[in-house]
Amino acid sequence: MLKKRSLLGKPAVQTLLSSLLCIVLGVLVGYIALLIINPAGAGEAVTDILKNFWNYKKHATQMKNLGNTLVKTAPLLMCSLSVLFAYKVGLFNIGAAGQYVAGAGACIYCAVGLGWHWLPCMLAAVIAGALIGSISGVLKAHRNVNEVISCIMLNWISLYLVNTLLSKVKNPTSPYTYEISKQLVVEEGVAKTVAHTEALLPQIGINSLFNNNKYVGIAVPMAILFAVMIWVLLTKTRLGYELRATGLNKYAAKYCGMQDRFNIVLTMAISGALAGIGAAMFYLTGFEEWSVTQSSVPAMGFNGIAAAFLGGLHPVGAIFSSFFIQHITDGGAQLNKQVYPAEISNLISSLIIYFCGFVLFFKLVLNKWLDRRFEKRMAASQKGVSKS
Amino acid sequence: MEKGQKAPVQSEYAVEMLHITKRFPGIVANDDITLQLRKGEIHALLGENGAGKSTLMSVLFGLYQPEEGIIKKDGAEVKISDPNDANALGIGMVHQHFKLVECFTVLDNIILGVEPVGKMGVLHKAEARRRVLELSKKYGLQIDPDAKISDITVGMQQRTEILKMLYRNNEILIFDEPTAVLTPQEIDELMQIMRSLAAEGKSILFISHKLAEIMAVSDRCSVLRKGKYIGTVNTKDTTVEELSAMMVGRNVNFHVEKKPAEPGKVILKVENMTVASKMHKNNAVRNVSFDVRAGEIVCIAGIDGNGQTELVYGITGLEPLVAGKIELLGQDITRQPIRKRSIMGMSHIPEDRHKHGLVLDYTLEDDLILQSYFESDFTKAGFLRRKNIRAYANKLIDEYDIRSGQGPVTMARSMSGGNQQKAIVAREIDKEPSLLVAVQPTRGLDVGAIENIHKQIVAQRDAGKAVLLVSLEMDEVLDVSDRILVMYEGEIVGQLDPKTTTPEEMGLYMAGAKREEM
């Protein structure tokens, strides 16, 4: 009997079950929403979203589109790592979005404005993200400012600072910055662009797997590597031991002589750095340019929160949850635009993402149910014993 | 009570809890417990921590619903589904930690929730004040209705809580460990108050694990052990020994066996130490000087909140000093960080094991290396050496008899308070410190665990370590220490010899009624 309990009682199994339940519920509610809007194509629409790239007939096109999803999965994974790392240390980093923005600003400016190589560009993004993160960390550690509040404010501060910075490398004919493969040079007072492909992330042959999708490259394995590194850092190292202790009980951390304040700042800096790398992994592929007129923070950082929770707050789980969330987000674009307005795709994917936040809740319910069942069985077995 | 049924006979009992059983996952917290409170009696409820006293009271207040058993009030069965029902039935409780609004006056606290409100929501306090003063006079409960709670003594706060119950016309008064925070003189006063309340026909349930008080004030005593009902005895027909055997299930040695101390060289030297207070503008510790020698147990006695906590924070480095100097083994450590002090040989069993002592969501093994995880035994090139950690944890678990569900990988949170404390004691003693600072090391533990920890502390002393013990328990202070320093309002007001002093003398120092020039 104890053995039976132990399989369902295992945290990993529980997390997996609750994550799957979240997905099923999200899809179900999304389906109901589609039914209400237009019952005719609802079933088809849901399968379209879930199929994403499989909607395409040709294998080559499928692979190309899978590649596109992967390009956006890498930064999403980094953002979710950023959130879960801070969360494990007891901080809620809702500022991953702003740190991501800062990283984007730094790497795009260094690439297009300064003509740097991709690696220093990425380092600049790391530093920018870490800087924004550590501001919240310092405020939390030394002035006890709630990190959620300071992070939200810094999200907007970062957005407008980056908009201002990137206006300098803006294409005069559009609201976007120049492509990452170009460098802006000013010669004798005249601005012009020259080709500069060094800033693009290397593809190291991975693109050939995805029908030569030129955006797929080093970022994907790199992000997975980071996930494993974060897992090792948290569970196997002395630093992880200290950071988790500080997060779980800062008084105990102080009592045993850990530098509790420094640890909080360090955590937020690492967390910010992860989001910053995420931005570099995305914008240095050249997949998209930055619009300097945008007035909302990119959703990447916020989706990172959902991905972190859906992945059971485990770095390896985050790899799969990030892919899934990006998969349905892209799948939303497959909706039949004749039946549903274009915005519906966002609504449906956000419904599913919203339900992803319930993982911990379902885990709690499952545990309670297990406890009750266990108790009943114990009572039953005791009765059996007393009778015999 | 439908027609056809007889009106309930005038019952001898104010409240009865009959055959109450309450289960939680994996544990039966109350197993067929019967408690009958007579009208006008003082009934003690005795039991160790975890015996099921709190659960039983929560059932009485409707916070838990029992699986089996019934509750009767004045002989009639009642259903209590939430605390409001309990209030309506005239059941009131003074909690161990008072439920008072600090920035309100005594009067405001008493009428809180049952405010006399007139038209348009206007408060009529004059009538309330008249009734409160009347009650206060009738039962001899000295209070100042206009004083703020934050400005009055703990004793007066407790009287405010009692008046709250009386103002609500409660007939059944429950006192949950009411003496833990009081001086001996205040305890005597409380006993008087309880007797006069009982004489006026109130029924009192007195929850405690202090046998002397139970013997002094109660008429009858019910004993619980490990969730089971052991029995009810008339207090005048029993002895302290019999009660303790009922409570623990075996005979307990109350006296701590130890040989005379042989103080050696000075280990800790504190000079003119002043520590600021977080609560108020005055300093919590004022110009305190003393020293602790190798091979002696120096005990800081005093009532809670007289600067003992801050004194320890200053010595261990959790708070900076405003002024003064601390020396450990002849070295100035006044400005040294906590880690440095720890490495130099200071161990600290903290006052609050959940706040400071443990990371509750860590496993037992991770908590056992909290003070040593950075040493080369446990860390190599930044990575934890899990194998060594497991071996070390198993060693401590064996040596200190730390019991837990899954051994080294048990979550600290799921362990009992006694075993959590054992883990902390093991960790701090195994560091082989030259100075052991132990703050209320037996707080909230049962008699058996207390005995064990006292033995460990004495063994440290006999091994030539210096021990600084901070305790609020009079018996512990007198039994364990070799030298007593009494703290009052941030100052050391007296040095006593435990062999020659009496609880009464100590009480006078603790209450600030007596002091010697140090």
- pLDDT-based confidence at residue A388 (cuts at 50, 70, 90): very low
Nearest CA distance, A269 vs chain B (angstrom):
19
pLDDT computed for residue A203 by the predictor: 85
Lowest mean pLDDT among A92-106, A126-140, A251-265, B93-107: B93-107
**Residues of A whose CB is below 8 A from B355:** 249, 251-252
Helix (H) or strand (E) holding A220: helix A219-236
A378, part of any domain: no
- pLDDT-based confidence at residue B304 (cuts at 50, 70, 90): confident
Helix (H) or strand (E) holding B34: strand B27-38
CATH topology agreement for domains B13-248 and B266-345+433-510:
yes
Residue of chain A minimizing CA distance to B361: A248
Most confident of A49-58, A192-201, B290-299: B290-299
DSSP letter for each residue of B152-198: S-HHHHHHHHHHHHHHTT-SEEEEESTTTT--HHHHHHHHHHHHHHH
CATH number at residue A224: 1.10.3470
Q: Please name the residues between 362 and 391 in chain B that touch chain A, using a CB distance below 8 Å.
A: 362, 366, 370-371, 373-374, 379, 382-384, 386
A 10 A CB-CB count for B84 gives 11
Q: Which two tokens stand for residue A377?
A: 């069985």
A196, part of any domain: yes
DSSP letter for each residue of B95-114: -SS----TTSBHHHHHHTTS
Structural domain for A329, as ranges: 13-366
Nearest CA distance, B431 vs chain A (angstrom):
13
Residue B240 has pLDDT above 90, yes or no: no
Task: Report the C-alpha gap between A334 and B502 in whole angstroms.
Answer: 86
Task: Please check whether residue B495 touches A, CB under 8 A.
Answer: no
Residue B416 has pLDDT above 90, yes or no: no
Helix (H) or strand (E) holding A183: strand A182-187
Task: Please check whether residue B344 touches A, CB under 8 A.
Answer: no
Residue A4 has pLDDT above 50, yes or no: no
**Residues of B whose CB is below 8 A from A379:** 23
Task: Report the C-alpha gap between A260 and B143 in whole angstroms.
Answer: 44
CB pair distance less than 8 Å for B362 and A245 = yes
Of B25, B360, B371, which has the smallest distance from its Cβ to A374's Cβ?
Answer: B25
A 10 A CB-CB count for A117 gives 13
Residue A2 has pLDDT above 50, yes or no: no
**Residues of B whose CB is below 8 A from A237:** 382-384
Residue of chain B minimizing CA distance to A367: B25
CB pair distance less than 8 Å for A252 and B379 = no
> For residue A240, which of B362, B395, B411 has the smallest C-alpha distance?
B362
Task: Please check whether residue B339 touches A, CB under 8 A.
Answer: yes
Residue A224 has pLDDT above 90, yes or no: yes
Mean pLDDT of chain A: 87
- pLDDT-based confidence at residue A379 (cuts at 50, 70, 90): low
CB pair distance less than 8 Å for A251 and B355 = yes
Nearest CA distance, B439 vs chain A (angstrom):
13
Q: What would the pLDDT profile of A289-321 be if each residue is shown by its tens digit?
A: 999 999 999 989 998 998 998 888 899 999 999
Q: Please give the average per-residue pLDDT across A267-273, as a whole number.
A: 96
Mean pLDDT of chain B: 87
A292, part of any domain: yes
Name the amino acid, one letter, at B452. N
Options 3.40.640.10, 2.60.40.1930, 1.10.10.10, 3.40.50.300; CATH of B266-345+433-510: 3.40.50.300
The β-bridge partners of B194 are none
pLDDT computed for residue A384 by the predictor: 53
Residue A383 has pLDDT above 80, yes or no: no
Enumerate the domain spans of chain B: 13-248, 266-345+433-510
Give me the long-range contacts of A343-352 (CB less than 8 A, separation at least 24): A344/A34, A344/A37, A344/A45, A345/A49, A347/A30, A347/A33, A348/A30, A348/A33, A348/A34, A348/A45, A348/A46, A348/A49, A349/A49, A349/A325, A351/A26, A351/A29, A351/A30, A351/A33, A352/A23, A352/A26, A352/A27, A352/A30, A352/A325, A352/A328
Task: Report the C-alpha gap between B473 and B480 in whole angstroms.
Answer: 11
pLDDT computed for residue B3 by the predictor: 46
Lowest mean pLDDT among B284-288, B408-412, B463-467, B508-512: B508-512
Task: Report the C-alpha gap between A153 and A297 in whole angstroms.
Answer: 11
A177, part of any domain: yes
Task: Report the C-alpha gap between B159 and B142 in whole angstroms.
Answer: 7
Q: What would the pLDDT profile of B256-281 be if each residue is shown by its tens digit?
A: 778 888 888 999 999 999 999 876 66
Task: Report the C-alpha gap between B429 and A188 in whole angstroms.
Answer: 76
Question: Are B185 and B507 in contact, with CB atoms under 8 Å apart?
Answer: yes
pLDDT computed for residue B393 by the predictor: 96
Nearest CA distance, A100 vs chain B (angstrom):
29
Report ipTM for this prediction: 0.79
CB pair distance less than 8 Å for A238 and B384 = yes
Split into its structural domains, chain A has a count of: 1
Can you tell me whether residue A380 is helix, strand or coil?
Answer: helix
Name the amino acid, one letter, at B24. F
Task: Report the C-alpha gap between A314 and A227 in whole angstroms.
Answer: 9
> For residue B450, which of B415, B410, B427, B479 has the smallest C-alpha distance?
B479
Name the amino acid, one letter, at A94. I
Q: Please give the average per-residue pLDDT across A44-49, as a whole number.
A: 82
Q: Which two tokens stand for residue A13?
A: 């199994």
A5, part of any domain: no
Q: What would the pLDDT profile of A79-92 be if each residue is shown by its tens digit?
A: 999 999 999 888 99
Options 3.40.50.1860, 1.10.1040.10, 3.40.50.300, 3.40.50.2000; CATH of B13-248: 3.40.50.300
Nearest CA distance, A267 vs chain B (angstrom):
17
Taking 3-state DSSP, the helix, strand and coil percentages for chain B, each rounded to the nearest 5, stand at 35, 25, 40
pLDDT computed for residue A354 by the predictor: 79
Task: Report the C-alpha gap between B171 and B38 in whole angstroms.
Answer: 11
Task: Please check whether residue B353 touches A, CB under 8 A.
Answer: no
Residue A266 has pLDDT above 80, yes or no: yes
Count Cβ–Cβ pairs < 8 Å, chain A vs chain B: 73
